[in-house]
């Protein structure tokens, strides 16, 4: 199994390490041709404005959008989630618009308000998952047809799935816990529908 | 229970800046140009290093009004500099809620013996280094991110290259040493043994390491990335050049595509004049910035 990690900017190496630990092959994606022959794609955390700009400059936005519409498995964390979203409460940003959610950037404030917390994510089992939120966004609007995988409080959705598109506002790649990535790989394998 | 300002979220923000360009800005307009060009963060300053160098005198933390105006102008993280050892300037910057504090040799040091004890802060710090020992001393004090010092405000990459190679050489040497020689090496480096053991095992610094001090062209940025930098700071190099907007975009692209010479060639075309450079050998020793701190 070969998973691409969009490597324009941000926490790329962390995702590659997680994928390798799970026995998947991971490869960096900076240009459209590198999207060929992949089984899934991860869009990492980083600065969403930076990644958006580079994605459009190097013609990656359209092919990724096309893949998403065809049901290709994509996992976005933090900035990666913002890029997948349909609506961002910050008009300067042009996301891919494939995940029918509305997100608010820097929803908890500046870096001083960044935090860690134990999360309940039932699909990953009983054991709590350490959520690392760094200048994190939240998902403010979700339509039907979505699996809400995790909430911080009522109406504060922090992890969702729509078909094979998976997104969370925190950083599983900054933990040692492989369960979230393992869940994504099970989506890629078609074991979860 | 929510835990704020943990080591994970401090070092984690630096990890999210990787592969990016952090640009020095002195006005909200410059900050917007930087954001639009694809900067992953900006450094809010009163003067860029080249002007600090030209002005002389004591360089201090920027006016909070300037920092706040820049924070208001952009949505990307905003960093600001305090003087080495000036923990009250650091407290002020934290109170302003900047996203990252640079305890910087570019400003005139406030303490020649002690750096800020950075573990006391919820906001992460980045510090400069010239070699592995200096990097590990700063990390021990709580720096969540390291950068080379280079020689700021010169537009000359030679010192940043020297410092990045020194850090990488130090790491390679540690990896090759047998365990029973690590204590003596820690003594020689002037670095805590626990961190020396960690680097010996992992073969990398425990935090992100950017390049800074002298980057003026897209090729400079890509050079530092190929030498092992996780990202780059560009100080005077952008807004002291003839065409900041175009140069900023080009440096962002060269940092992402740092292993692709064809792309670096393409983005390097017709950028206009770079900032005027300075030969390090012509700078009187007392005016060098890199030897500040220890």
Q: What secondary structure, in 3-state letters, does chain A show?
A: CEEEEECCCCCHHHHHHHHHHCCCEEEEECCHHHHCCCCEEEECCCCHHHHHHHHHHCCCHHHHHHHHHCCCCEEEECHHHHHHEEEECCCCCCCCCCEEEEEECCCCCCHHHCEEEEECCHHHCCCCEEEEECCCCEEEEECCCCEEEEECCCCCEEEEEECCEEEECCCHHHCCCCHHHHHHHHHHCCCCC
User: Which residues in chain B have Cβ-Cβ distances shorter than 8 Å to A133?
Assistant: 9
pLDDT, averaged across chain A = 95
Q: Is A162 on the interface with B (CB under 8 A)?
A: no
The more confident residue out of B277 and A192 is: B277
- The span from the CA of A24 to the CA of A1, in Å, is 6
The pLDDT of residue B199 is above 90: yes
The pLDDT of residue A66 is above 90: yes
Q: Which of A111, A16, A37, A32 is nearest to A64 (CA)?
A: A32
- The span from the CA of B73 to the CA of B70, in Å, is 5
Q: Which of A14, A50, A113 sits opposite B38 (nearest CB)?
A: A50
pLDDT, averaged across chain B = 97
What domains appear along chain A, each with residue ranges and CATH number?
Answer: 2-189 (3.40.50.880)
User: Which residues in chain B have Cβ-Cβ distances shorter than 8 Å to A46?
Assistant: 16-20, 40
Q: Do A47 and B77 touch (CB under 8 A)?
A: yes
Residue A166: CA count within 13 A, CB half-sphere: 25
In this predicted structure, what is the pLDDT of residue B32? 97
Q: Do A47 and B17 touch (CB under 8 A)?
A: yes
B222 Cβ neighbours under 8 A, 6+ residues apart: B254, B255, B257, B258, B259, B264
- The span from the CA of B39 to the CA of A49, in Å, is 8
Q: How confident is the model at residue A94 (pLDDT cuts 50, 70, 90)?
A: confident
Residues of A designated as active site: 78, 171, 173
The pLDDT of residue A19 is above 70: yes
pLDDT tens per residue across span B65-79 = 999 999 999 999 999
pTM (global) more than 0.95: yes
In this predicted structure, what is the pLDDT of residue A142? 83
Task: Give the residue-averaged pLDDT of A113-128.
Answer: 97
Residue B145: CA count within 13 A, CB half-sphere: 31
The more confident residue out of A32 and B276 is: A32
- The span from the CA of B220 to the CA of B21, in Å, is 12
Counting residues of chain A whose pLDDT is more than 70, the rounded percentage is 99
User: Which residues in chain B have Cβ-Cβ distances shorter than 8 Å to A12?
Assistant: 18-19
Q: Which of A10, A92, A116 sits opposite B16 (nearest CB)?
A: A10
The pLDDT of residue B12 is above 70: yes
Q: Taking a C-beta distance cutoff of 8 angstroms, is the pair B123, B106 a contact?
A: no
The pLDDT of residue A156 is above 70: yes
The pLDDT of residue B125 is above 70: yes
A54 Cβ neighbours under 8 A, 6+ residues apart: A8, A9, A60, B38, B252, B253, B256
Q: Do A111 and B40 touch (CB under 8 A)?
A: no
Counting residues of chain B whose pLDDT is more than 90, the rounded percentage is 97
Of B81, B118, B149, B253, the active-site residue reads B81
Q: Which of A5, A22, A163, A162 is nearest to A77 (CA)?
A: A5
pLDDT tens per residue across span B200-243 = 999 999 999 999 999 999 999 999 999 999 999 999 999 999 99
User: Which residues in chain B have Cβ-Cβ distances shorter than 8 Å to A116?
Assistant: 2-3, 6, 8-9
CA-based torsion, A171, A176, A180, A184: positive or negative: positive
Neighbours of A9 (CB within 10 A): 30
Q: What secondary structure, in 3-state letters, does A107-153 show?
A: CCCCHHHCEEEEECCHHHCCCCEEEEECCCCEEEEECCCCEEEEECC
The pLDDT of residue A188 is above 70: yes
Q: Do A46 and B20 touch (CB under 8 A)?
A: yes
In this predicted structure, what is the pLDDT of residue A193? 65
Nearest CA in chain A to B256: A8
Q: Do B256 and A30 touch (CB under 8 A)?
A: yes
**CB contact residues (below 8 A), chain B span 79-98, against chain A:** 94, 97-98
A154 burial (CB, 10 Å; 0-12 / 13-18 / 19+) is exposed
Q: Return the residue in B36, B41, B75, B121 with the most chain A beta carbons within 10 A, the one to mutate for interface testing.
A: B75
Q: Is A15 on the interface with B (CB under 8 A)?
A: no
Q: Do B3 and A9 touch (CB under 8 A)?
A: no
Q: Do B8 and A174 touch (CB under 8 A)?
A: yes
- The span from the CA of B145 to the CA of B158, in Å, is 22
Q: How confident is the model at residue A91 (pLDDT cuts 50, 70, 90)?
A: low
Nearest CA in chain B to A117: B2
């Amino acid at each position: 199994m070969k998973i691409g990690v969009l490597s324009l900017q941000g926490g790329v190496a962390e995702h590659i390490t997680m994928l390798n630990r799970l026995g998947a092959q991971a490869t960096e994606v900076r240009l459209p041709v590198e999207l060929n022959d992949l089984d899934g794609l991860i869009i990492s955390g980083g600065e969403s404005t930076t990644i958006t700009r580079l994605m459009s400059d190097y013609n990656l936005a359209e092919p990724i959008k096309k893949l998403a519409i065809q049901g290709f498995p994509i996992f976005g964390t933090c900035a990666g989630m913002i890029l997948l979203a349909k609506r961002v409460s910050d008009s300067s940003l042009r996301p891919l618009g494939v995940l029918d959610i509305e997100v608010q950037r820097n929803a908890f404030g500046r870096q001083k308000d960044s935090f860690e917390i134990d999360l309940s994510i039932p699909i990953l089992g009983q054991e709590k998952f350490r959520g690392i939120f760094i200048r994190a966004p939240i998902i403010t609007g979700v339509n039907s047809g979505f699996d809400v995988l995790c909430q911080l409080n009522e109406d504060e959705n922090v992890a969702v799935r729509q078909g094979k598109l998976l997104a969370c506002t925190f950083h599983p790649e900054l933990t040692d816990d492989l369960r979230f990535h393992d869940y994504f790989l099970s989506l890629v394998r078609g074991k979860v529908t | 229970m929510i835990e704020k300002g943990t080591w994970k979220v401090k070092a984690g923000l630096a990890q999210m800046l990787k592969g990016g360009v952090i640009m020095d800005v002195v006005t909200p307009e410059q900050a917007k140009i930087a954001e639009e060009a694809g900067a992953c963060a900006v450094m809010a300053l009163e003067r860029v290093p080249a002007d600090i160098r030209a002005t002389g005198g004591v360089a201090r933390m920027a006016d909070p009004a300037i920092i706040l105006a820049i924070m208001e102008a952009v949505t990307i993280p905003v960093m600001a500099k305090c003087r080495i050892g000036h923990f009250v300037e650091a407290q002020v910057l934290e109170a302003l809620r900047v996203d990252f504090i640079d305890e910087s040799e570019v400003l005139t040091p406030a303490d020649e013996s002690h750096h800020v004890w950075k573990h006391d802060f919820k906001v992460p710090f980045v510090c400069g280094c010239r070699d592995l020992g200096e990097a590990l001393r700063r990390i021990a004090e709580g720096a969540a991110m390291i950068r080379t010092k280079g020689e700021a405000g010169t537009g000359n990459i030679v010192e940043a290259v020297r410092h990045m190679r020194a850090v990488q050489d130090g790491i390679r040497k540690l990896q090759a040493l047998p365990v029973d020689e690590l204590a003596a090496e820690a003594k020689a480096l002037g670095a805590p043994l626990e961190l020396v053991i960690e680097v010996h095992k992992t073969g990398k610094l425990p935090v992100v390491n950017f390049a800074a001090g002298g980057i003026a062209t897209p090729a400079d940025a890509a050079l530092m990335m190929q030498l092992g930098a996780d990202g780059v700071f560009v100080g005077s190099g952008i807004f002291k050049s003839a065409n900041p907007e175009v140069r900023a975009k080009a440096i962002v692209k060269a940092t992402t595509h740092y292993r692709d010479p064809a792309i670096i060639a393409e983005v390097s075309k017709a950028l206009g004049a770079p900032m005027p450079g300075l030969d390090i050998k012509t700078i009187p020793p007392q005016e060098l910035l890199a030897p500040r701190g220890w």
